[in-house]
Amino acid sequence: MIIVLTGAFGFIGSNLVKALNELGYTDIIAVDNLTNGSKIKNLADCQILDFVDKEDFIHEVANGNYNNEVDYIFHQGACSSTTEQDGKYMMKNNYEYSSVLLEFAQTNEIPFVYASSAAVYGDKTKFVEDLEHEYPLNVYAYSKFLFDQIVRRYFETGLKAPVVGLRYFNVYGQREAHKGRMASVVLHNFEQYQATGRVKLFQGCQGYANGGQLRDFISVEDVVKMNLFFFNNHLNDKEEISGIFNCGTGEARSFNALALATVNACCAHQGNAVLSLEDALAQNIIEYIPFPGDLAGRYQCFTQADLTYLRGAGCEHTFLTLEEGVSRYINLLLEKK
């Protein structure tokens, strides 16, 4: 089986390559842009069939050079910066690239699983995979939103092969160090705590208390399992599933809870007693900083995946709790130090 995996050296992509290897799949064509050469570390412990530069791959696909040669596509490649303001770049990199691959997949009848984003919901308060609940607030979210609409048109006109979009909520976990500013809050909290003994969170905004903004945080371990759930369905089930599905835990947790889970994971690793939020505040371990003005009107203070469609598709996966996922991730980071 030949699997194309775009964004293969990135955060979610590299975790997916590793998981596929563990299942015995190594004939993977890893597609990516390696301008950031540090990403090669993410696949240093993995096996692939070939590496193809993203632009070269698009060119080869357009020329028909991969026709009838690919069995499955995981499309994880994208610019994930929610603060990127270059709309031309974002639309070319996310929307146009994805559209080319979708057409290629349908023409060649290849199952296609791609990365969407919870950013499409914007400041809505219901996180259901329906157009009425979607309102992107930045160009990144719009690029994902617009591609989802293209996919929905294929659903309406009829598919030649299954298509699944996974709307990732706030993902954290190993193999994300290359992301810098766009790495998860867990990694930033961990690095701050290791360097200074403190964790910085935003002050309250839009009616939320300091550190009280709520997000659906999901471990990359669970994200990979969601990708593999659909992969296994497409390989083994006569009723192949298609659709756009939320990929979150279904439980919103505060940034205070996330910071405390990070601190306590470090404490537990050192054999120290865990702290309550009150303890952490009293000891100035959690510090609140002014909310950035440039995020006003473009910041999701609350996200929580509605899992109705996912459960309806037959996925019964039990997600890691915030404390479980963060503890596992922090232990991995500490073991590498």
The residue among 245, 242, 241 whose CA lies nearest residue 223 is 245
Residue 123 has pLDDT above 80, yes or no: yes
> What local confidence, expressed as pLDDT, does residue 47 receive?
98
The confidence score (pLDDT) of residue 81 equals 73
Q: Taking residues 139-143, what's their average pLDDT?
A: 95
Identify the architecture of domain 177-214+252-300+329-336 in CATH.
Alpha-Beta Complex (3.90)
Any idea which fold 3-172+219-249+304-319 has? Rossmann fold (3.40.50)
Tokens matching residue 20: 């596929």
pLDDT at 32: 97
CA dihedral 136, 190, 79, 215 (to 10 degrees): -20
Q: What's the mean pLDDT when you consider all of the chain?
A: 95
User: What is the set of active-site residues?
Assistant: 140, 179
Residue entry with tokens 């540090």: 38
In this model, does residue 238 exceed pLDDT 80? Answer: no
Give the phi and the psi of residue 334 in degrees, each rounded to 5.
-70, -35
| Alpha helices, H only, the chain | 11-22, 54-62, 87-90, 97-107, 139-157, 185-196, 220-236, 255-269, 277-282, 308-312, 322-336
Phi, psi of 212 (to 5 degrees): -95, 0
Mean pLDDT value across residues 282-289: 96
Q: Are strands 214-215 and 253-254 parallel, antiparallel or unpaired?
A: antiparallel
Of 112, 196, 209, the C-alpha closest to 162 is 112
State pLDDT tens for residues 8-47. 999 999 999 999 999 999 999 999 999 999 999 999 999 9
What pLDDT is stored for residue 14 in this prediction? 98
Residue 83: pLDDT band with limits 50, 70, 90: low
Contact present, 165 and 148 (Cβ < 8 Å): yes
If you average pLDDT over residues 309-319, what whole number do you get? 97
Q: Alpha-carbon distance 197 to 52, whole Å?
A: 42
Three-state secondary-structure class, residue 124: coil
CA–CA separation, 236 and 57 (whole Å): 28
Confidence (pTM): 0.96
255-271 mean pLDDT: 96
Number of alpha carbons in the 13 Å side-chain half-sphere of residue 220: 22
Terminal alpha carbon distance of the chain: 37
Does residue 284 carry a pLDDT above 90? Answer: yes
pLDDT at residue 206, as a whole number: 85
Instruction: Spell out the domain ranges in the chain.
Output: 3-172+219-249+304-319, 177-214+252-300+329-336
Has residue 295 got a pLDDT over 90?
no
pLDDT in tens, 89-116: 889 989 999 999 999 999 999 999 999 9
Per-residue model confidence (pLDDT) at position 173: 98
pLDDT in tens, 189-232: 999 999 999 999 999 988 899 999 999 999 999 999 999 999 99
pLDDT above 80 for 153: yes
Q: Is the pLDDT of residue 315 over 90?
A: yes
Coil/strand/helix, residue 109: coil
Mean pLDDT confidence for 179-190:
95
- Answer yes or no: same fold for 3-172+219-249+304-319 and 177-214+252-300+329-336: no
